[in-house]
């Protein structure tokens, strides 16, 4: 069987996340597997670089799958583009090395969280940003974010059950920039725990609002307690932005 690498983008608004569940029609993975399995007349299982939660979007999601087919990559890509719903886009498809795996082979991922920081309504982007109308102290947020960079146990910033080494990740950089009325938080690291980016974002927003001090971050990390960190920022502002192999 040939191994394939598929690059996608999608609007996660109406999906229950990436990972297939009982109702596969409402997940991105389920949509893809159903389409390819029917078109190729064989079971197709797809692995994604990351399991985005319900409502989270992807500018770049990388997948891998195996199939036995005489169709060319161009033909398979055309098939996906014709039959996938309009909120899932097939960007590229290529043959991959035998050992390539979309998740296990990834060395770096980047997520972006978009915050609409204005009291003016954000009508046309409302499905893709979190609205916080109060002023944000970006310098304080940057000082707090700097304490997350490096290798740490991030169990305080996850709603999952992993602890210790299983909850240890390396964050290479966190960038916080204003683009007009929008504030963008960019996270780059070797991997992220369940809800980790959204909880980091909620905590940094609380710093920006003056509800927490930048110096509190070290104590939150050391606590290993979810209750010590900030709120979980809503899903719609989060994008899987880039994956590096």
Distance, in Å, from the CA atom of 83 to the CA atom of 33, rounded to the nearest integer, reads 12
Distance, in Å, from the CA atom of 244 to the CA atom of 62, rounded to the nearest integer, reads 10
- Please state, for a pLDDT cut of 90, what percent of the chain lies above it: 96
Each residue's pLDDT tens digit, 76-95:
999 999 999 999 999 999 99
Check: CB of residue 146 under 8 Å from CB of residue 221.
no
For residue 224 the two structure tokens come to 């290993």
In this chain, the answer to whether the domains covering 2-95 and 108-244 adopt an identical fold is yes
Each residue's pLDDT tens digit, 24-74:
679 999 999 999 999 999 999 999 999 999 999 999 999 999 999 999 999
For residue 62, give the nearest of 132, 4, 2, 145 by alpha carbon: 4
123 CB-contact burial (10 Å; exposed 0-12 / middle 13-18 / buried 19+):
exposed
The three-class DSSP label of residue 222 is: helix
Q: Which residues pair with 93 in a beta bridge?
A: 6
Separation of CA 35 from chain center: 23
pLDDT at position 21 is 82
Question: Does the pLDDT at position 146 exceed 70?
Answer: yes
Check: CB of residue 54 under 8 Å from CB of residue 4.
no
Select 2-95's CATH number: 3.30.70.580, 3.40.50.150, 3.90.180.10, 3.40.50.11540: 3.30.70.580
pLDDT at position 96 is 98
Check: CB of residue 237 under 8 Å from CB of residue 113.
yes
- Mean pLDDT, residues 216-228 taken together: 97
Q: pTM for this structure?
A: 0.95
- Which of the residues are catalytic? 53
- Mean pLDDT, residues 145-170 taken together: 95
Distance, in Å, from the CA atom of 210 to the CA atom of 173, rounded to the nearest integer, reads 23
The dotted CATH code for 108-244 is 3.30.70.660
Distance, in Å, from the CA atom of 105 to the CA atom of 223, rounded to the nearest integer, reads 31
- The domains of the chain are located at 2-95, 108-244
């Amino acid at each position: 069987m040939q191994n394939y690498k598929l690059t996608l983008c999608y609007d996660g608004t109406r999906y229950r996340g990436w990972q297939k569940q009982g109702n596969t029609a409402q997940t991105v993975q389920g949509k893809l597997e159903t389409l390819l399995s029917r078109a190729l007349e064989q079971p197709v299982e797809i692995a994604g670089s990351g399991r985005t939660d319900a409502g989270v979007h992807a500018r770049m999601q990388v997948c891998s799958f195996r199939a036995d087919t005489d169709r060319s990559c161009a033909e398979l890509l055309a098939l996906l583009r014709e039959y996938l719903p309009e909120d899932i886009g097939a960007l590229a498809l290529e043959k991959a090395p035998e050992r390539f795996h979309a998740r296990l082979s990834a060395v770096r991922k980047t997520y972006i969280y978009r915050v609409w920081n204005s009291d003016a309504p954000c009508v046309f982007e409302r499905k893709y940003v979190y609205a916080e109308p109060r002023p944000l102290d970006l310098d304080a947020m940057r000082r707090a974010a700097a304490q997350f960079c490096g290798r740490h146990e991030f169990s305080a910033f996850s709603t999952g059950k992993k602890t210790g080494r299983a909850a240890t990740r390396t964050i290479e950089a966190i960038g916080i920039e204003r683009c007009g009325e929008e504030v963008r938080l960019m996270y780059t690291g070797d991997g992220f725990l369940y809800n980790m980016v959204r909880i980091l974002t909620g905590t940094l927003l609380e710093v920006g609002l003056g509800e927490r001090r930048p110096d509190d971050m070290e104590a939150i990390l050391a606590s290993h307690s979810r209750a010590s960190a900030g709120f979980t920022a809503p899903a719609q502002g989060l994008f899987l932005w880039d994956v590096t192999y």
